Amino acid sequence: MSVKFDVKLTSQDMYRFNIHHAYTSLQGILSLVLGVFIIAVIIVSDQFRDFISVLPYVALALVFFLYIPITLWFRSKRQIAMSEVLRENLHYELTDEGIVVKSDALDEEALLPWGQVYKAITTRNNFLIYSNRVNAYIIPKAQTEDKLSEIYDAFEKHCEAYRLKIKR
C-alpha cells in the first residue's frame, strides 16, 4: 500500500501550526489565564474607576493576549522565507516502512519510520505528524482533501491508537 500526495506550505499554514503548538503548551495557556485574570481584576476592583488608572493594566492584558500571536505571525513568515525546503513543493509517500518526504529543493529524501511517529493529530485546517514533541510535518487539509481518508487509514494501520488524535 502506498499513498502519494504533494504539499506546498504557506506562511498561513505555518502560522496555524505555531498557534496550535503555542496554545496547547503551558506558555500559551498561562498567557491567556494571566490576561483574563488582569481583566477580571480590573472589572472587580473598586480602585479602577478612571481611565488613567486602568490604562496600564489594560495594556498589560493586551500584551498577554497579543504578544504570542503577533510574534508567531512574523516567525512563520520568516520560517517560510528562510527555508528553501519549505518554500518548495514537498512530496509525501506513505509506505509500509514509513513516511517518505522529498523536496523539490533537495535531491535527498527523508524517511520517518512508523515506529518513530510521536503522534499524529488533526486540527481544523491541518493534519500534523509529530516526529517528536516539538517538530511536525504539516499537511494542509485543503491541499489533500481527496487523499485524507487514505492518509488516515494508513496511520490507523501502522501507528498505535494512543498516538493518534484523528477526527475524520
The last residue of a domain, from among 54, 82, 110 = 82
Backbone φ and ψ for 167, nearest 5 degrees, come out as -110, 115
The last residue of a domain, from among 26, 56, 82 = 82
Give CA–CA dist 70/124, Å, rounded. 20
What is the per-residue pLDDT for 45? 79
Give CA–CA dist 109/94, Å, rounded. 13
Same domain, 68 and 90: no
Residue 24 DSSP class = T
What is the per-residue pLDDT for 123? 95
Q: Per-residue DSSP letters for 103-148?
A: ESS-S-EEEEEGGG--EEEE-SSEEEEESSSS-EEEEEGGGSTTTH
Percent share of the chain, pLDDT over 90: 79
CA angle 140, 144, 104 (to 5 degrees): 75
Same domain, 88 and 153: yes
74-123 pLDDT, tens digit each:
999 999 999 999 989 999 999 999 999 999 888 889 999 999 999 999 99
Same domain, 90 and 160: yes
Same domain, 50 and 110: no
Same domain, 25 and 61: yes
Same domain, 161 and 104: yes
